[in-house]
Amino acid sequence: MPTPDPAAVAAELRIAMGRLTRRVKYEDHIPQGQIAVLGVLDRDGAMTTSDLAADQRVRPQSMTRAVGLLMEQGLVTRRAHPTDGRKSLVELTPEGRAALAAERGRRAGWLAQAIEAELTAEERKILARSAALLERLAAR
């Protein structure tokens, strides 16, 4: 079997990953934009609304609305910035951390069931090896 063309593999992989990502996100109970904010705060810690907006590539006004909705749900809170009294930091609450864990659990649970139902033992081994390769590409 000839070595696959990298451009063709890239095109197929992009389409497949996009479909899989959309399908996994279908399991979410919290809107995707809000989940993204919770995920960033979980990974990177407390941030200003401006930094969150820059990270998510949205307008600061849009992020202010998203943070407001998350605050109403008790998933994030604000505290004073330690060095700049004009700013505040947004951070996860314990409820926000629990909601994010639940969302991640739903996604992982659906994916684990799909892997078990759809893939043979050999295909699961290939997929496990592929995950490491995808991680290596993502780190580039």
Locus of tokens 């605050």: 71
Domains of the chain: 6-138 (1.10.10.10)
All residues at 6 or more sequence positions from 3 whose CB lies less than 8 Å from its CB, including other chains? none
Q: What b/e sequence results for 31-57 when a residue is b if at least 16 CB atoms lie within 10 Å of its CB, and e otherwise?
A: eeebbbbbebbeeeebbbbebbbebee
Q: pLDDT value at position 102?
A: 95
Q: What is the mean pLDDT of residues 31-52?
A: 95
Q: pLDDT value at position 36?
A: 94
Q: pLDDT value at position 14?
A: 95
CA nearest neighbour of 92 among 67, 114, 115, 117: 67
C-alpha neighbours within 13 Å on the C-beta side of residue 32? 8
**Whole-angstrom Cα distance, residue 101 to residue 28?**
11
pLDDT at 112 over 90: yes
Locus of tokens 């996604």: 107
Q: Which tens digits make up the pLDDT trace of 43-52?
A: 999 999 999 9
Whether the Cβ atoms of residue 99 and residue 30 lie closer than 8 Å to each other: yes
Q: Which amino acid is at 125?
A: K
Q: Which tens digits make up the pLDDT trace of 61-108?
A: 999 999 999 999 999 999 999 998 899 999 999 999 999 999 999 999
pTM of the model: 0.80
pLDDT at 25 over 90: no
pLDDT at 27 over 90: no
What pLDDT band is residue 136 in, cutting at 50, 70 and 90? Answer: very high
Residue 27 carries which DSSP code? T
